[in-house]
C-alpha cells in the first residue's frame, strides 16, 4: 500500500474521529437526541469503507462493530446509555491510536488483535491508555538484521561467481586442445598441470555451490509467512457465503524464495476464493448429496525435485466439462465445432482463457470472468506451471509447480537464427528429430505427431523474426516440444547445445516491454544468451490463426475511455482515480450522487463507478437515475461498497449496476479487471 493513500486515509480519519467524538459526547449528555445517530453512523461507515480500501482490517473491524452498535441504537434495540457510549468512544480511541501510530510509522501501543476480538464481543477489556507491555524474552539473540537489498546483492554476486567459474571451465577445455597440438614431452607436463587445475576448479565449483545454497537460503521464507492471512480469508468468505468449511494447511514450513512467495499470495487468494464460491456447496446441498455438511479445503505444499508443488483441493461440486464447454461457446471463447473436438480434460483448461466465467453475474467474490486468466498470468510471471484435475460432484484440485528460485534456472541451450537461446526446462517436454516426410499440413499451419498427439510445429527463428536456415532434403530437423498448461507446441531449432544451469539476469528498463524474453544469462565464453519466455511463444503460435483487429476496433482501442468516480470518501476517490489513470483511463470525480448526475449530464462517460452510502441520493438511486436517461441507459455502472450482504448486491443489480465490488476485497487488480472486462 502506497504511503500516499495511508496519509490521505489518516487525514480523513482524523476528521471523522473528531466528529464521532464530539457527537458521542453530546449524545452522552442528551441520550434523547437520537437525531445525532444518523450522522455518527455515516462517520463510522465511511471510516470503515476507507479503511478497507487501504487494507486496514483492524480499523475496518472496529468501525464495523461501532456501526452495528449505532444501528442498534437507531432501531431502538440498544439503549443509549453511558456504558454504550463509552464502548463507542473506546472504539474511536483505538482507531485514533492506530492511525497516529501509522502516521509515525510505529506500532500502536495497543494489542490490536486482542482489542478487536474483545471489541467485537462488546467487552471493554483492556484499557487503551498505556499498558506496560510484558517484557519479551530475547529469543533471537543469535540472529542479525539484514537489508533485503544486501541479500539480493549477495545473490547477484554469487551469480557472477558461477558465471566466472563457467569461464574457467571453458578455458580448461581450450587448454586440453592446446595440449594436443604440443610435442609429447610438453604435452605430458601440460596434462599434469591441467589435471591439477581441473581439481582446483572442481573444488571451487563445490564451494560456489555451497555458497549459492547458503545465499539463497537467506532469501527463503516459509509458506507460513503468507498462509496465516489465508485462514482468516477462508473463514470470512465461508461466513459471507454461508458455507461450512474446514481449512487445512499442510507443509507450512516449506521454504521458497521471497520474490516467489510474493507472487504466490495473490494466486492462492484467487484459488481459495474460487474453491469457496464455486467449489464447496451450501451445507444443505451437501447433505442432500450424501456428503458431510462441512466441506474441506486443503492447501498443501511439498518439494518435488528442484521445484515446489502447491496444491489447492476442495471436496466441492467439482468442475463439469460439459458445462464449461457450453459456457465457453456461449461467451464466444470457443467455436461450437472446436468444442466437440475438446476432451473433458482439455475442457477444464478453458477456464484459463480470457473472458471466461461460469458465474452468471459479476460479483466481488468470484466469477469475474477474469479470475483464472489472472492466475495463469501470475503463474507465468513466476515461471511456474499449473495443472487442473476434477471429478464432477466430488473434488477440484489445482496444482501449481513452481521453481524454488528465479535467480538460477535449469535450461536447455539451443542455437537458433545464428544466436544462442536458453529455454527453461520447466516448459520442456522433450527433444525430437523430425523428418520432412513426417510434417503434415493442417489448415494454414504445420503439425507433427508427438507420441501420437497432433502437435503444431513452428520454426523458432520464424517466430522470433530471425533469419531462417531450413535446408531442403530429408535431413532430420531438431525440434523442442514445449508444454504450457494443457498445450503443446514443437519448435524447430538449428541445434541443441545441452543442458545448463543458468544465472538469470534482468534486461533492464530499456527492455521492459520486450516480447519473447524473460531475461538473459552469460555463457562460459562471456557472451550473453537470451532466455526465452515460453508463454509468449504459445501466444505467438495462436496469433497466427487469429484475425487482425478491424479498423474500428483499433480506433476504439485508441480512444481514451472516460470514467466517472463517485464517492464521498476522499481516500476512495483518490485511490480509484490513480489506479484508473495509471492504466490510461481519463477520470473525473464526483463527491456525491447529485454531483455525479450534474457531471454526467455535461459530458459522456464510458463507465460510472459509485459508492452506495453517500450524503444525499445513494449509489442505487444514482444508478437508477442514470438508467432512466437515454444517454446512460447502456453505460456500465460498477458499485464499490462496504455493504457486503447479498441483499445489497441484489439491490445494485436491480438498480441496473453491472458489477459489485466489496471494499473489503478491494484491490487494484480487481477494479481494473472489472473495468477492463466491462469497457476494455
Partner 1 sequence: MGDDNSYDIRTILTQMREEYWQALAEEESEAKETLECLVFTLGGKRYAFETHYASEVIRIPKLVRVPAVQSLIRGIFNLRGEITAAIDIRPMLGLPQPEIGPTGRILVVRGDNFATGILAEAAHGVQGLCFDDFEPVAAGSGIKTQFLRGHFSLEEGSVILLDMEALLADPELVAGEA
Nearest to 298 by CA among 376, 245, 339: 245
> Contacting partner 1 (CB under 8 A), which of 121, 127, 145, 509?
509
Give the nearest distance from C-beta 512 to partner 1 in angstroms.
7
Question: Which of 508/548 has CB closer to partner 1?
Answer: 508
> Contacting partner 1 (CB under 8 A), which of 507, 588, 672, 678?
507
All cell numbers assigned to 561: 475511455
User: Does the footprint of partner 1 cover residue 221 (CB under 8 A)?
Assistant: no
Question: Which of 516/620 has CB closer to partner 1?
Answer: 516
| Residue in this structure with the C-alpha cell 464521498, named with its chain if needed | 568
Q: Which stretch binds partner 1 (CB under 8 A): 21-29, 185-193, 418-426, 542-550?
A: 418-426
Gap between the Cα atoms of 61 and 39, Å rounded: 19
User: Does the footprint of partner 1 cover residue 543 (CB under 8 A)?
Assistant: no
Give the nearest distance from C-beta 668 to partner 1 in angstroms.
23
Q: Is residue 211 a contact partner of residue 157, using CB atoms and an 8 Å limit?
A: no
> Strands 528-532 and 419-424, how do they pair?
parallel
**Contact string (CB under 8 A) for partner 1, positions 544-573, x = contact:** ------------------------------
Q: List the beta bridge partners of residue 479.
A: 432, 492
Q: How many CB atoms lie within 10 A of CB 259?
A: 15
> Contacting partner 1 (CB under 8 A), which of 28, 118, 346, 419?
419
Question: Which of 473/508 has CB closer to partner 1?
Answer: 508
Give the nearest distance from C-beta 654 to partner 1 in angstroms.
45
Give the nearest distance from C-beta 416 to partner 1 in angstroms.
9
Q: Which stretch binds partner 1 (CB under 8 A): 268-276, 468-476, 526-534, 556-564?
A: 526-534
Q: Which helix (H) or strand (E) holds 491?
A: strand 487-493
Per rule CB under 8 A, count of chain residues that contact partner 1: 30
Give the nearest distance from C-beta 466 to partner 1 in angstroms.
6
Q: List the beta bridge partners of residue 400.
A: 310, 386
User: Does the footprint of partner 1 cover residue 530 (CB under 8 A)?
Assistant: yes
Give the nearest distance from C-beta 577 to partner 1 in angstroms.
25
Question: Which of 23/519 has CB closer to partner 1?
Answer: 519
Give the nearest distance from C-beta 418 to partner 1 in angstroms.
7
Kindly give, in sequence order, each residue whose CB lies less than 8 Å from that of residue 20, ignoring residues fewer than 6 positions away: 40, 43, 44, 47, 66, 88, 92
Q: Which stretch binds partner 1 (CB under 8 A): 110-118, 267-275, 375-383, 508-516?
A: 508-516
> Contacting partner 1 (CB under 8 A), which of 528, 539, 667, 672?
528
* Cα–Cα distances in angstroms (integers) from residue 503 to residues 200, 381, 426, 448, in the given order: 22, 17, 15, 33
Q: How many CB atoms lie within 10 A of CB 647?
A: 9
| 101-109: long-range pairs with CB below 8 Å, 24+ | 102/6, 102/10, 102/56, 103/7, 103/10
Give the nearest distance from C-beta 521 to partner 1 in angstroms.
9
User: Does the footprint of partner 1 cover residue 505 (CB under 8 A)?
Assistant: yes
Gap between the Cα atoms of 24 and 634, Å rounded: 44
Give the nearest distance from C-beta 526 to partner 1 in angstroms.
6
**Contact string (CB under 8 A) for partner 1, positions 152-181, x = contact:** --------x--x------------------
User: Does the footprint of partner 1 cover residue 89 (CB under 8 A)?
Assistant: no
Give the nearest distance from C-beta 667 to partner 1 in angstroms.
27
Give the nearest distance from C-beta 166 to partner 1 in angstroms.
12
> Contacting partner 1 (CB under 8 A), which of 508, 547, 584, 634?
508
Handedness of CA 508, 511, 514, 520 (dihedral sign): negative
Question: Which of 179/524 has CB closer to partner 1?
Answer: 524
User: Does the footprint of partner 1 cover residue 497 (CB under 8 A)?
Assistant: no
Gap between the Cα atoms of 483 and 543, Å rounded: 17
Gap between the Cα atoms of 661 and 267, Å rounded: 19
Q: Which stretch binds partner 1 (CB under 8 A): 78-86, 206-214, 276-284, 504-512?
A: 504-512
| Residue in this structure with the C-alpha cell 496444491, named with its chain if needed | 311
Nearest to 404 by CA among 257, 278, 587, 280: 257
> Contacting partner 1 (CB under 8 A), which of 299, 520, 638, 671?
520
**Contact string (CB under 8 A) for partner 1, positions 453-482, x = contact:** -----------xxx----------------
Give the nearest distance from C-beta 503 to partner 1 in angstroms.
9
Q: Which stretch binds partner 1 (CB under 8 A): 285-293, 374-382, 415-423, 671-679?
A: 415-423
> Contacting partner 1 (CB under 8 A), which of 418, 445, 476, 680?
418
74 by Cβ neighbours in 10 Å (0-12 / 13-18 / 19+) ranks as middle
Give the nearest distance from C-beta 661 to partner 1 in angstroms.
32
Gap between the Cα atoms of 565 and 213, Å rounded: 50
b/e burial code for range 602-640 (CB count within 10 A of at least 16 → b):
eeebbbbbbbbbbeebbbbebbebbeeeeebeebbbbbb
Q: Which helix (H) or strand (E) holds 98?
A: helix 82-104
Angle at 228 between CA 52 and CA 292, to 5 degrees: 100
b/e burial code for range 8-39 (CB count within 10 A of at least 16 → b):
bbbebbeebbeebbebbeebbeeeeeeebbee
Give the nearest distance from C-beta 516 to partner 1 in angstroms.
5
User: Does the footprint of partner 1 cover residue 518 (CB under 8 A)?
Assistant: no
Q: Which residues bind partner 1 (CB under 8 A)?
A: 160, 163, 417-420, 464-466, 505-517, 519-520, 522, 526-530
Amino acid at each position: 500500500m502506497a504511503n500516499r493513500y495511508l496519509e490521505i486515509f489518516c487525514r480523513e480519519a482524523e476528521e471523522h474521529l473528531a466528529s464521532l467524538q464530539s457527537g458521542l459526547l453530546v449524545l452522552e449528555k442528551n441520550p434523547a437526541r437520537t437525531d445525532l445517530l444518523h450522522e455518527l453512523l455515516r462517520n463510522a461507515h465511511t471510516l470503515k469503507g476507507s479503511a478497507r480500501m487501504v487494507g486496514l482490517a483492524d480499523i475496518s473491524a472496529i468501525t464495523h462493530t461501532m456501526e452495528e452498535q449505532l444501528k442498534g441504537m437507531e432501531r431502538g434495540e440498544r439503549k443509549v446509555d453511558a456504558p454504550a457510549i463509552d464502548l463507542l468512544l473506546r472504539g474511536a480511541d483505538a482507531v485514533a491510536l492506530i492511525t497516529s501510530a501509522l502516521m509515525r510509522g510505529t506500532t500502536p501501543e495497543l494489542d490490536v488483535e486482542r482489542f478487536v476480538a474483545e471489541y467485537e464481543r462488546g467487552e471493554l477489556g483492556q484499557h487503551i491508555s498505556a499498558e506496560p507491555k510484558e517484557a519479551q524474552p530475547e529469543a533471537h539473540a543469535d540472529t542479525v538484521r539484514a537489508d533485503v537489498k544486501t541479500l539480493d546483492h549477495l545473490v547477484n554476486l554469487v551469480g557472477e561467481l558461477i558465471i566466472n567459474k563457467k569461464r574457467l571451465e571453458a578455458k580448461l577445455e581450450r587448454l586440453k586442445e592446446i595440449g594436443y597440438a604440443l610435442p609429447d614431452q610438453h604435452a605430458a607436463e601440460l596434462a599434469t598441470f591441467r589435471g591439477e587445475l581441473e581439481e582446483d576448479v572442481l573444488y571451487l565449483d563445490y564451494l560456489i555451490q555451497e555458497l549459492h545454497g547458503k545465499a539463497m537460503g537467506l532469501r527463503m521464507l516459509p509458506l507460513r509467512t503468507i498462509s496465516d492471512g489465508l485462514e482468516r480469508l477462508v473463514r470470512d468468505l465461508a461466513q459471507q457465503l454461508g458455507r461450512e468449511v474446514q481449512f487445512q494447511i499442510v507443509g507450512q514450513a516449506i521454504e521458497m524464495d521471497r520474490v516467489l512467495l510474493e507472487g504466490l499470495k495473490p494466486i492462492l487468494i484467487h484459488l481459495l476464493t474460487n474453491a469457496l464460491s464455486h467449489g464447496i456447496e451450501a451445507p444443505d446441498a451437501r447433505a442432500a448429496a450424501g456428503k458431510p455438511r462441512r466441506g474441506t479445503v486443503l492447501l498443501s505444499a511439498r518439494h518435488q525435485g528442484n521445484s515446489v508443488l502447491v496444491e489447492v483441493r476442495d471436496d466441492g461440486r467439482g468442475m463439469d466439462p460439459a458445462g464449461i464447454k457450453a459456457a465457453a461457446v456461449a461467451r464466444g471463447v470457443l467455436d461450437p465445432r472446436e468444442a466437440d473436438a475438446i476432451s473433458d480434460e482439455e475442457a477444464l483448461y478453458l477456464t484459463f482463457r480470457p473472458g471466461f466465467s461460469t458465474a452468471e453475474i459479476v460479483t466481488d467474490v468470484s466469477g469475474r470472468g477474469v479470475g483464472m486468466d489472472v492466475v495463469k498470468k501470475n503463474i507465468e510471471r513466476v515461471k511456474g506451471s499449473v495443472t487442473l484435475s476434477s471429478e464432477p460432484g466430488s473434488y477440484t484440485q489445482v496444482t501449481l509447480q513452481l521453481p524454488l528460485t528465479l535467480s538460477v534456472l535449469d535450461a536447455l541451450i539451443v542455437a537458433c537464427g545464428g544466436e544462442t537461446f536458453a529455454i527453461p526446462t520447466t516448459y520442456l517436454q522433450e527433444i525430437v528429430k523430425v523428418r520432412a516426410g513426417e510434417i503434415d499440413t493442417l489448415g494454414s499451419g504445420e503439425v507433427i505427431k508427438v507420441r501420437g498427439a497432433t502437435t503444431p510445429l513452428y520454426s523458432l527463428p520464424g517466430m522470433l523474426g530471425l533469419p531462417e536456415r531450413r535446408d531442403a532434403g530429408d535431413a532430420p530437423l531438431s525440434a523442442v516440444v514445449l508444454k504450457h498448461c494443457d498445450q503443446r507446441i514443437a519448435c524447430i531449432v538449428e541445434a541443441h547445445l545441452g543442458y545448463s544451469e543458468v544465472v538469470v539476469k534482468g534486461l533492464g528498463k530499456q527492455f521492459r516491454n520486450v516480447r519473447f524474453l524473460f531475461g538473459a544469462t552469460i555463457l562460459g565464453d562471456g557472451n550473453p544468451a537470451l532466455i526465452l519466455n515460453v508463454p509468449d511463444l504459445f501466444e505467438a503460435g495462436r496469433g497466427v490463426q487469429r484475425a487482425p483487429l478491424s479498423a474500428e476496433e483499433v480506433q476504439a482501442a485508441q480512444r481514451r475511455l472516460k470514467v466517472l468516480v463517485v464517492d464521498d470518501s476522499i481516500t476512495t476517490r483518490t485511490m480509484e482515480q490513480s489506479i484508473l489513470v495509471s492504466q490510461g483511463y481519463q477520470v473525473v470525480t464526483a463527491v456525491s450522487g447529485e454531483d455525479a448526475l450534474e457531471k454526467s449530464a455535461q459530458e459522456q462517460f464510458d463507465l460510472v463507478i459509485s459508492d452506495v452510502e453517500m450524503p444525499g441520493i445513494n449509489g442505487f438511486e444514482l444508478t437508477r437515475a442514470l438508467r432512466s436517461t437515454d444517454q446512460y441507459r447502456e453505460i456500465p455502472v460498477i458499485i464499490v461498497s462496504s455493504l457486503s450482504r447479498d441483499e445489497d448486491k441484489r439491490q445494485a443489480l436491480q438498480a441496473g449496476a453491472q458489477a459489485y465490488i466489496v471494499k473489503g476485497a478491494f484491490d487494484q487488480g480487481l477494479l481494473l479487471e472489472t473495468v477492463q472486462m466491462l469497457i476494455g
